Structure 1
Amino acid sequence: MSINKLKSIRKKIDSIDHQLLELIQNRGSLAQEIGDLKALIASNTSFYKPNREAEILRNISKLSKGPISEKKIKYIFKEIISSCLSLEEELTIAFLGPQGTHSEAAAIRHFGSSALRSPRSTIEDVFHQVRTGSVNFGIVPVENSSEGVVNATLNCLADEEIKICGETYLPIHHQLASAKKFKLSDAEIVASHPQALGQCSKWLDANLPNARREATSSTADAAKFSKENKKTLCIVSSLAVKQYNLQQYQKNIEDFSGNNTRFLVIGHIDIEQTKNDKTSFLIQTKNKPGALIDILEPFNKRRINLNRIETRPSRESSSAHNFFIDSDGHQKDSKLKQVILSLKKLGISVRVLGSYPSES
């Protein structure tokens, strides 16, 4: 009786799979039609619309009632959207390489696996690729919950006329692996990026106290180092484990859970409003008492929440300071328009780095 019931359920699943396939292919055909229409209307514009994608994913999340988690549902639909977009336009995304880094994982998380990915050796080169039009977008780390802000990204944002088009948050988990399986007690070296070694130091002290720690330029380079050296472990991302065909010993060996990195999507397009946006500013003011209060007051007056404030001396003038500020809202919102106008009336330099759908 139970065997017959199992066959019946599997038959229903097969039927649903066939329906899903037909619906996904129909969605792809409609995406192609939209692409053809857009090409006639505006041939030089990108088909990628982050505001439209954000609204689709938010609406899907609201409709989802389980048993599959909201996170997994969003992942499935992200891949469907990515696959359909590839029928309209082939996107290329520059990221901080090499392959298998957390930056590549962030690119996949934001754009899906159908977009082409171009590993670059430095954050500056990611910006260069975007500026010259060699790629459609770049994705760069801007801050980590454990290690703080990424200075190279802030410097490039200040120096380059490139827009922030989106953001994504990547949970950082560290995997212990090696090229070939051997006893952990025989391990002589543990290789990884210095930040990864630091974030796993307690686990390493407790479980591999005698293994020498070797710093590499990236976690992906640690994977390569493990392949080239015997009895060498590496601390890498889950993506690197797959891409470099590593043997995994232990999952998630980081000392503290909740570690995540925020990445910014950079490009040349303006993003339209959604119901939940964020705007990034670069505000420059003279280095004088009360300068920060003058900046914050227009936001406070209009009850606009600020998500982040980062300050540093201006590289253009020794008597000025730069403030990188993230606020709720879109630059086209009436309240933020008033804020910008108020700041400019005070003689404060205001540059909008970009407005984009919030993921926080």
Structure 2
Amino acid sequence: MRRRPAVLPLAPGSTLGILGGGQLGRMLAQAAGRLGLDVAVLDPEPDGPAARVSAHAITAAYDDPKALQALADLAGVVTFEFENVPAAAVAQLADIGVEVAPGPLALKVSQDRFEEKSFLNAHGAPTVAFAPASSPDEAVAAIDEVGAPALMKTRREGYDGKGQRWVEHAPAAARAFAELGGGPVILEAAAGFRRELSIIAARARDGATAVYPLAENHHEGGVLRRSLAPAQAASAVVDQAERIAARVLAGLDYVGVIGIELFEMEDGRLLVNEIAPRVHNTGHWTLDGCEVDQFEQHIRAVAGWPLGPTHAIARVEMVNLLGDEMQGWLRLAHEPETRLHLYGKREAKPGRKMGHVNRVKPL
């Protein structure tokens, strides 16, 4: 049974739906609350971080028809906190008459690394050379095409360094293919980059866009460790990043906040590493470094509100707290320049993101 479309912009007192109940969902819910909106969270895990700060919590699989109907009955618009939401769930919400933002194209592109890089190249956003493979022989041929060494990644799933292997020469490609499960993969040429940057951008329902200052990012073991923002960057680099963001947002007919990871090459060119159709870890610095942070910006966009200002009001070093590092919360709380953000996860596991700190300095 289809229902009437939501009246936009969502007025204070309306309910916004979120697929996913982790830390990103929690910070989205907190931002929505500041704007007077209620939140309904659908998440398979009971008592998750987002559920405990939301007005409504539905515990069920993402593609559970009854749960999706319950979410639709509550929410005027639905968004998501991560890009691996089942496409079938979004399709069912659309059949019911609920709008999901960002839209299905953003999910389709971001859920498959080959589709993603093909889309980026087609829309004037350059990447490293790449090739797909669906068998050991194709993996070997792909190495010959893109050159060695190359990074082999599963086409779907995988995050924080999971689901990927470096392949140093063609004969090793078949073994790496098997180690990654024998499913479809993508081979990406090595990028001799100078540093990793990211840009957080937003697009409203009326097509208006806004971009945040660049962040410089440092990873350890495939996991983001810290971001420095605003990054020191030449105007030509900033211009490139903003052009890339504009092309991606327009090409996806996007609504909401998106994270775009970039490689800055030695000659100053920017290549896109990947996109994330959601609020992004490298944008956490905006919570204390900008007038309107990425979470409020996303809520504004999907709810049909005008976008807020994105200029920096402070310089920030964002550091992820992994595993037991969050046990140092009291020491961190004593640091006058440190803003502590803990996610409310019940169990600390090695490498698990339990929170982050923003160390704030004047511009």
- Please state which band the TM-score falls in when normalised by the shorter chain: under 0.3
Give TM-score scaled by structure 1 length.
Answer: 0.24
